[in-house]
């Protein structure tokens, strides 16, 4: 079908995107074979926008985020692809070319690109006070003295809605509730005014009323700091509430991407359609859910055929089991990877 040279992008195809990921492949070399956790991912995040990366466990969404920051756990390795970031200080930089432990990436990681995780307790040190940990981050990346760093920490805790920040600075993470710890993580992530925040399931471990508070806080801070957010979650509700664009991942690839309204109202990939149908929705009566049959396979040396094939009710024999479909733009802002919509085959 189309023969356009450039790979289609999730998110608007703006030249001045803050972050552009192209052909990213992050593989894990295990004893059982090559686990292709991320196997050809393209997307871009324009400045100040929110892109949601949605998928089930094992789809590669977290590994994608870690690839951006150069913190892929062993035995994982970025095999191919480029991650281009518009740094405020260094201009356009290529993150995959940097030494993951080198000085260059460290001036970006934790400063211009920061990340918050699902379980804040595992990212906070149990033996250092909140104040020490926060001011440490600030001292590491900004030219301020200890007193100024502490003042800035105080301001930040106040801003993320932690009551009595002076007292909290003296306390340790285990004194805080899950919601308060996530607020501390957010304060830490924002301490150096990043232009991109990666939020990996930041509210999954929280109660629903606390989740609502944290989502609202992230939204406010995004507007205030003019930053972009890459929001990683398995929760369709969270995506619908917070994101401008969404990319649906399945088994290491993006299978569908576009503006959030378009994808929710007009999903085209069989996986996206089934995913939307499989969740119970408030106020909707259904005696049965349309479950997706089977389970997500493990991408160990996967064959080059559609990865959703064995769970897909719409599969076409002799087509879907022959090649891997390419991610193709149906119209300017909506890309789908499915032979039902285009015959284009993914290149090697």
Partner 1 sequence: MTDERAPTPAPLLQIESLHKYFPVQKGLLRRVVGQVRAVDGVDLELASGETLGLVGESGSGKTTLGRCVVRAQQPTSGAIRLDIEGRDPIDLAVASQSELRTYRQHMSMIFQDPFLSLDPRWTVLDIVSEPLRKLQIVKAGEAEDRVRALIEVVGLEAQHLHRYPHAFSGGQRQRIGIARALATNPKLIVADEPVSALDVSIQAQILNTLKDLQQEFSLTYLFIAHDLSVVEHISDRVAVMYCGRVVESGPTRRLFHQPLHPYTEALLSAVPQPDPDRRSDRIILPGEVANPANPPAGCHFHPRCSYARDICRSEDPPYVNWEEDHGAACHFSTEIELQGV
Residue ranges that bind partner 1, judged by CB under 8 A: 56-57, 177-180, 207-213, 215-216, 234-241, 260-261, 264-265, 274-276, 278-283, 285-293, 295-296
The β-bridge partners of 141 are none
Query: Closest approach of Cβ 54 to partner 1, in Å?
Result: 10
Exposed (0-12), middle (13-18) or buried (19+): which is 112, by Cβ within 10 Å? buried
Looking up tokens 């996206």 gives 272
Query: Closest approach of Cβ 293 to partner 1, in Å?
Result: 8
Distance CA 261, CA 195 (A): 25
Query: Closest approach of Cβ 170 to partner 1, in Å?
Result: 20
Pick the closer one to partner 1 by CB: 134 or 217.
Answer: 217
Structure tokens at 205: 């471990």
Query: Closest approach of Cβ 131 to partner 1, in Å?
Result: 22
Query: Closest approach of Cβ 283 to partner 1, in Å?
Result: 4
Structure tokens at 92: 């356009």
CB 16 within 8 A of CB 43: no
Query: Closest approach of Cβ 64 to partner 1, in Å?
Result: 17
Q: How many CA atoms lie within 13 A of 154 on its CB side?
A: 10
Structure tokens at 184: 């501390």
Using DSSP, state whether 77 is helix, strand or coil.
Answer: strand
Structure tokens at 100: 């993951």
The β-bridge partners of 334 are 331
Pick the closer one to partner 1 by CB: 6 or 57.
Answer: 57
Pick the closer one to partner 1 by CB: 100 or 259.
Answer: 259
Query: Closest approach of Cβ 2 to partner 1, in Å?
Result: 28
Pick the closer one to partner 1 by CB: 73 or 280.
Answer: 280
Distance CA 38, CA 57 (A): 13
Scanning 99-195, the segments in alpha helix (DSSP H) are 103-106, 120-123, 130-141, 146-159, 165-170, 178-190
Q: Considering only the C-alpha atoms of the chain, give the largest distance between any 2 of them, rounded to a whole number of Å.
A: 68
Looking up tokens 């192209």 gives 22
Distance CA 340, CA 348 (A): 21
Query: Closest approach of Cβ 77 to partner 1, in Å?
Result: 26
Looking up tokens 């405020």 gives 88
Pick the closer one to partner 1 by CB: 106 or 234.
Answer: 234
Pick the closer one to partner 1 by CB: 128 or 261.
Answer: 261
CB 292 within 8 A of CB 301: no
Pick the closer one to partner 1 by CB: 67 or 233.
Answer: 233
Query: Closest approach of Cβ 53 to partner 1, in Å?
Result: 15
How far does Cα 111 stand from its chain's mean position?
Answer: 17
């Amino acid at each position: 079908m189309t023969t356009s040279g450039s790979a289609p992008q999730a998110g608007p195809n703006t030249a001045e995107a803050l972050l552009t990921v192209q052909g990213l492949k992050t593989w894990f070399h295990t004893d059982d074979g090559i686990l292709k956790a991320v196997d050809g991912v393209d997307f871009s995040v324009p400045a100040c926008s929110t892109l949601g990366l949605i998928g089930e466990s094992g789809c590669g969404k977290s590994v994608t985020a870690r690839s951006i920051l150069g913190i892929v756990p062993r035995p994982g390795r970025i095999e191919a692809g480029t991650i281009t970031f518009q740094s405020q200080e260094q201009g356009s930089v290529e993150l995959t070319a940097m030494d993951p432990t080198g000085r260059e990436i460290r001036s970006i990681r934790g400063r211009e690109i920061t990340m918050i995780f699902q379980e804040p307790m595992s990212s906070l040190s149990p033996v250092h006070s909140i104040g020490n940990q926060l001011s440490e981050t600030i001292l590491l990346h900004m030219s301020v003295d200890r007193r100024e760093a502490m003042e800035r920490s105080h301001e930040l805790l106040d801003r993320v809605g932690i009551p009595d920040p002076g007292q909290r600075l003296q306390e340790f993470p285990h004194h805080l509730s899950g919601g308060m710890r996530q607020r501390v993580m957010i304060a830490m992530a924002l301490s150096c005014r990043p232009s991109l925040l990666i939020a990996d399931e930041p509210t999954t471990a929280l109660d629903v009323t606390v989740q609502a508070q944290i989502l609202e806080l992230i939204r406010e801070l995004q507007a205030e700091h003019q930053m972009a957010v890459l929001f990683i979650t398995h929760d369709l509700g969270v995506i619908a509430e917070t994101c401008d664009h969404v990319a649906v991942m399945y088994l290491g690839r993006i299978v569908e991407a576009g503006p959030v309204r378009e994808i929710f109202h007009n999903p085209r990939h069989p996986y996206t359609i089934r995913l939307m149908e499989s969740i119970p929705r408030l106020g909707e009566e259904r005696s049965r859910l349309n479950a997706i049959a089977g389970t997500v396979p493990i991408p160990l040396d996967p064959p080059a055929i559609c990865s959703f094939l064995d769970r897909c009710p719409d599969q076409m024999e002799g087509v879907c089991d022959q090649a891997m479909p390419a991610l193709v733009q149906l119209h300017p802002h909506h890309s789908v990877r499915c032979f039902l919509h285009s015959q284009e085959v993914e290149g090697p």
